């Protein structure tokens, strides 16, 4: 049961002639004050349809509304305020939550694929904070899509191709050592890369050498391919440590190099459709007046980032027949994705509206962009290990007898970092502050995890009751209402590509539950005990499921 759905249906029965069911649903509000009911319906929109004053309409609608789950409807100026029949609604809600458990809020299966292109770090470089955001947001959106009934196809579009590898090979063959790379691959490769840029400033002929290396790579030269494979392997070993810590798996590791043999056909197609134009020896596609042309091939015939994204989009459409292809990539690549879409549109593909760039803001430290500048590499793995270490010290202090301490520390430490990232709208920048993330008070992952664990301890002796009965009291009602709002949060998080909707939702449910826990003696042996336990059980299910959608684990004990 979904409160909004109940109300939408009841309202729609009254408003059939004036509005569609979707329009009715979109207008419904959740009032902030209890006096304004559980849900409210503003009549401004109807006023223009019916050509009547909103106040007149609200009185008419309130008078006609009836549903067994609605206790009364009041006209208040231009609004209709609805009060639910708490007893009926809570009884029905507890029954449903009990039956559905973690499936509560699942959307209908749609048999449609949604491709997620996320994480996508660049090999031979440190896993940056920007890639951390893409990884966390992308994984969460994939989970949210699944919950809404889609099949998520998770692709890591590794940055494993491009002129930078020419530079890296040039640098490695000049100044590199195999042993150094084996010992600590990313920092070593990064050093060579930085040195390349320093030396190339003084000796521009290095650029030609680097270009030649990349050309060799694109031409499948044995030595170039061997080096590249090795750099990639070493990098992937490092990246997988981060993925393991975060518990992330991909369906496909199809990086940019995967499209190496799929770009020539794209270039040929562009040629055939008369879209390629020469510009300074390079080949480009014009994308209109507002955007610079999209570069397809360089002077020397090598390909570019955009060329590979064109090939990738076409390949994915063929392979997965996606409903949407979602690119979780920082806001600074807006222009790139807009160009890719324009070019595909000019090629005549009619699915370019299904390519969705989901951008996000920066990670800041002390208000400044966190950088991976020369020598000052913040390795993500270290950050996560630091968070886990702090979580473990916390446990030692607060709950020294806890079993499986290490596992819980891992869930809490990584959960803190992940939740902190997801709780604000993704487009905003995030201030990175480990101390803050890990507190048990305030809007943190550990706070929600702790609420869940606390509820779990209440259930130790509880048994499932198929008909738990009704509940009374304002605090219980507030929890029931929060629980029933989960399905619409799941839908909204998807329609807005916004994990923060779920993060805010679990914070709200936690806070409602903690007020309830503070006021009501849950384990008191009276005739509402079963109902109270059913409520607690539902809270644990929904919190766990909600955290799961964010990629955060919910340990039973903390
Ligand atoms: N590797 C790229 C970068 O670090 C991100 C790739 C995003 N995905 C894509 N299909 N372009 O900037």
| DSSP state letters, 484-548 | HTHHHHHHHHHHTT-THHHHHHHHHHHHHHHHHHHHS-TT--STTHHHHHHHHHHHHHHHHHHHH
Give residue 383's pLDDT band: very low, low, confident or very high (50, 70, 90): confident
* Residue 369 phi, psi dihedral angles, 5° rounding: -60, 130
How many angstroms does the Cα of residue 70 sit away from the middle of ligand 1?
Answer: 51
- What is the reported pLDDT for 50? 92
In a domain, 397, yes or no: no
Give residue 372's pLDDT band: very low, low, confident or very high (50, 70, 90): low
Q: Where are the beta strands (DSSP E) in 45-137?
A: 70-76, 79-84, 113-117
**DSSP assignment of 10-25, as one string?**
HHHHHHTTT--HHHHH
- What is the reported pLDDT for 4? 74
In a domain, 13, yes or no: yes
How many angstroms does the Cα of residue 375 sit away from the middle of ligand 1?
Answer: 23
How many angstroms does the Cα of residue 316 sit away from the middle of ligand 1?
Answer: 16
CA distance linking residue 67 with residue 40, whole number of Å: 15
Of 338, 339, 182, 346, the closest CA to residue 275 belongs to 346
Which residue's CA is minimally distant from atom 5 of ligand 1? 120
* Residue 83 phi, psi dihedral angles, 5° rounding: -115, 125
Atom of ligand 1 nearest to the CA of 128: 4
Report the pLDDT averaged over residues 110-128: 93
In this predicted model, what pLDDT tens digit does every residue of 64-87 receive, in sequence order? Answer: 998 888 999 999 999 999 999 999
- What is the reported pLDDT for 180? 94
Report the pLDDT averaged over residues 431-454: 88
Report the pLDDT averaged over residues 241-266: 95
In a domain, 436, yes or no: no
Is a pLDDT exceeding 70 seen at residue 371? no
Give residue 438's pLDDT band: very low, low, confident or very high (50, 70, 90): confident
Of 97, 212, 1, the closest CA to residue 536 belongs to 97
Give residue 378's pLDDT band: very low, low, confident or very high (50, 70, 90): low
What is the bridge-based pairing of β-strands 70-76 and 282-285?
unpaired
Give residue 433's pLDDT band: very low, low, confident or very high (50, 70, 90): confident
How many angstroms does the Cα of residue 410 sit away from the middle of ligand 1?
Answer: 28
Atom of ligand 1 nearest to the CA of 309: 10
Tokens matching residue 249:
């798996």
- What is the reported pLDDT for 340? 97
Is a pLDDT exceeding 90 seen at residue 3? no
In this predicted model, what pLDDT tens digit does every residue of 184-224 receive, in sequence order? Answer: 898 899 999 999 999 999 999 999 999 999 999 989 999 99
Higher local confidence (pLDDT), 160 or 465: 160
- What is the reported pLDDT for 9? 85
Higher local confidence (pLDDT), 342 or 30: 342
Is a pLDDT exceeding 70 seen at residue 429? yes
Which residue's CA is minimally distant from atom 11 of ligand 1? 309
Atom of ligand 1 nearest to the CA of 305: 11
CA distance linking residue 146 with residue 154, whole number of Å: 11
In a domain, 501, yes or no: no
Give residues (CB < 6 A) around ligand 1. 117, 120, 122, 157, 159, 309, 312, 327, 329
Mean pLDDT of the chain: 92
In a domain, 210, yes or no: no
Which residue's CA is minimally distant from atom 8 of ligand 1? 157
CA distance linking residue 278 with residue 350, whole number of Å: 26
Higher local confidence (pLDDT), 425 or 442: 425
In a domain, 453, yes or no: no
Tokens matching residue 128:
């940056």
Domain count, the chain: 1
Structural domain span for residue 9: 3-84
Burial class (CB in 10 A: 0-12, 13-18, 19+), 381: middle
Residue 11 maps to which CATH number? Answer: 3.30.1360.70
Give residue 369's pLDDT band: very low, low, confident or very high (50, 70, 90): confident
Give residue 150's pLDDT band: very low, low, confident or very high (50, 70, 90): very high
Burial class (CB in 10 A: 0-12, 13-18, 19+), 168: buried
Report the pLDDT averaged over residues 121-144: 92
How many angstroms does the Cα of residue 157 sit away from the middle of ligand 1?
Answer: 6
In this predicted model, what pLDDT tens digit does every residue of 386-417 receive, in sequence order? Answer: 999 999 999 999 999 999 999 999 999 999 99
Burial class (CB in 10 A: 0-12, 13-18, 19+), 541: buried
In a domain, 498, yes or no: no
**DSSP assignment of 372-428, as one string?**
--TT----HHHHHHHHHHHHHHHHHHH-TT-TTHHHHHHHHHHHHHHHHHHSS-TTS
How many angstroms does the Cα of residue 494 sit away from the middle of ligand 1?
Answer: 22
- What is the reported pLDDT for 377? 59
Chain position carrying tokens 């010290």: 393
**Running DSSP on this structure, what letter comes out for residue 159?**
B
Atom of ligand 1 nearest to the CA of 336: 11
In a domain, 66, yes or no: yes
How many angstroms does the Cα of residue 362 sit away from the middle of ligand 1?
Answer: 15
Atom of ligand 1 nearest to the CA of 330: 12
CA distance linking residue 148 with residue 110, whole number of Å: 8
In this predicted model, what pLDDT tens digit does every residue of 254-306 receive, in sequence order? Answer: 999 999 999 999 999 999 999 999 999 999 999 988 899 999 999 988 889 99
Higher local confidence (pLDDT), 238 or 502: 502
């Amino acid at each position: 049961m979904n409160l909004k759905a109940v109300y939408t249906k009841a309202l729609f029965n009254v408003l059939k002639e004036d509005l569609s069911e979707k329009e009715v649903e979109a207008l419904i509000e959740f009032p902030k004050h209890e006096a304004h009911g559980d849900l409210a319906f503003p009549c401004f929109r109807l006023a223009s349809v019916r050509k009547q004053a909103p106040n007149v309409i609200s009185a008419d609608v309130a008078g006609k509304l009836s549903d067994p789950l609605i206790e009364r409807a009041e006209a208040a100026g231009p609004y209709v305020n609805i009060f639910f029949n708490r007893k009926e609604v809570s009884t029905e809600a507890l029954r449903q939550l009990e039956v559905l458990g973690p499936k509560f809020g699942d959307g209908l299966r749609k048999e449609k694929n949604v491709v997620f292109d996320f994480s996508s770090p660049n090999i031979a470089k440190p896993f940056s904070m920007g890639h951390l955001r893409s990884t966390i947001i992308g994984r969460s959106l994939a989970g949210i899509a699944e919950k809404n009934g889609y099949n998520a196809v998770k692709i890591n579009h590794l940055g494993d191709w491009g002129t930078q590898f020419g530079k890296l090979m040039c640098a490695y063959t000049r100044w590199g050592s195999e042993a150094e790379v084996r010992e600590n691959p990313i920092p070593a490769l990064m050093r060579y890369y930085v040195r390349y840029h320093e030396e190339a400033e003084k000796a521009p002929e290095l650029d030609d050498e680097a270009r030649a290396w990349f050309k060799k790579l694109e031409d499948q030269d044995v030595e170039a391919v061997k080096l590249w494979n090795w750099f990639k392997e070493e990098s992937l070993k490092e990246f997988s440590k981060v993925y393991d810590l975060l518990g992330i798996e991909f369906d496909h590791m199809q990086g940019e190099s995967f499209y190496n043999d799929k770009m020539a056909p794209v270039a040929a197609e562009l040629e055939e459709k008369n879209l390629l134009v020469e510009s300074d020896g390079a080949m480009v596609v014009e994308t209109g007046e507002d955007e610079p042309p999209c570069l397809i091939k360089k002077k020397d015939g090598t390909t570019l980032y955009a060329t590979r994204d064109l090939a990738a989009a076409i390949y994915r459409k063929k392979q997965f027949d996606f409903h949407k292809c979602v690119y979780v990539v920082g806001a600074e690549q807006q222009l790139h994705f807009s160009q890719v879409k324009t070019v595909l549109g000019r090629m005549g593909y009619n699915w370019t509206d299904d390519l969705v760039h989901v951008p996000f803001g920066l990670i800041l430290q002390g208000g400044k962009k966190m950088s991976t500048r020369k020598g000052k590499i913040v390795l993500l793995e270290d950050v996560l290990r630091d968070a886990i270490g702090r979580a473990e010290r916390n446990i030692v202090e607060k709950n020294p007898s806890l079993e499986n301490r290490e596992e819980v520390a891992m869930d809490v430490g990584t959960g803190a970092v992940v939740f902190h990232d997801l709780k604000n709208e993704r487009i905003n920048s995030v201030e990175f502050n480990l101390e803050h993330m890990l507190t048990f008070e305030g809007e943190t992952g550990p706070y929600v995890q702790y609420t869940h664990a606390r509820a779990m301890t209440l259930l130790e002796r509880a048994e499932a009751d198929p008909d738990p009965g009704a509940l009374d009291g304002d605090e219980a009602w507030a929890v029931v209402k929060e629980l029933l709002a989960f399905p619409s949060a799941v839908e909204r998080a998807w329609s807005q590509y916004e994990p923060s909707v779920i993060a805010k939702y679990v914070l709200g449910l936690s806070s409602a539950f903690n007020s309830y826990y503070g006021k009501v003696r849950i384990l008191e042996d009276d005739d509402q005990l079963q109902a109270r336990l059913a409520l607690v059980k539902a809270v644990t299910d929904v919190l766990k499921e909600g955290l799961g959608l964010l990629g955060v684990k919910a340990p039973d004990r903390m």
